[in-house]
Structure 1
Amino acid sequence: MKAVKAEAAPIARLFGFNPNRAIAWVYVWNTSELSILWLDRRVPPKFIDPPLPKGVLDQAIAVTSDEVTDLLTALSNRTTGS
């Protein structure tokens, strides 16, 4: 039986070129899936704070690998603010 998304918790923020203004929030669901709540979709994400731990990313990819997990993996592998 597939788990139902019941609740999510914020675990990180995405930033564009302005490190003082979050453009999105990253949430992890009780199913281990990750999702993004965009505050400003027009600004491309440059970095994530904090970077997501490999374990969190691996669990999310095991549930569903998609453009969200691809983006968050790439951002988490960058040095913050670079």
Structure 2
Amino acid sequence: MKHCKEEAAPIARVLDDMGKTIGWVYQWNTSELTILWIKKGGPAKSIEPPLCLQTLALAKAVTRDAITDLLETLLDQPKKNPR
């Protein structure tokens, strides 16, 4: 039985290189992950708080797409502390 996306909750912020929030990562009841982009501009540089590897694995088990690829890439980025 395929589950429908019914509700989602924000679980992390997507940050630019200045540490400003440019999007929110949402986790759906199906374990899928999506991003609500709230600001255009610089590229995404990090996620705060970092996603749990299990969360990303569950999302990839449901669907592998550009969002899960981006989030996986951002997890591998060294954290930069803006001043």
Same structural fold, with TM-score higher than 0.5 when normalized by the shorter chain: yes
Q: Secondary structure at the match of 2:68?
A: helix
Q: Letter of the aligned partner of 1:54 in structure 2?
A: L
| Shift of residue 11, structure 1, vs aligned partner | 0.5
Q: Which runs of 5+ in 2 are unaligned?
A: none
Q: Letter of the aligned partner of 1:12 in structure 2?
A: A
Aligned residues: 81
Q: Secondary structure at the match of 1:48?
A: strand
CA contact (8 A) 2:11 2:27 kept: yes
Cα separation, 2, equivalents of 1:81 and 1:25:
19
Cα separation, 2, equivalents of 1:41 and 1:30:
27
* 2:76 matched residue in structure 1: 77
Cα separation, 2, equivalents of 1:61 and 1:17:
26
Cα separation, 1, equivalents of 2:61 and 2:4:
16
* 2:53 matched residue in structure 1: 54
Overall identity of the aligned pairs, in %: 49
The within-5 A match list for 1:1-40 is 1-19=1-19, 21-40=20-39
CA contact (8 A) 2:31 2:58 kept: yes
CA contact (8 A) 1:49 1:80 kept: no
Alignment RMSD (CA, Å)? 1.2
Q: Deviations over 1:28-75 (max 9, x none)?
A: 000000000001133210111011111000000000000000000111
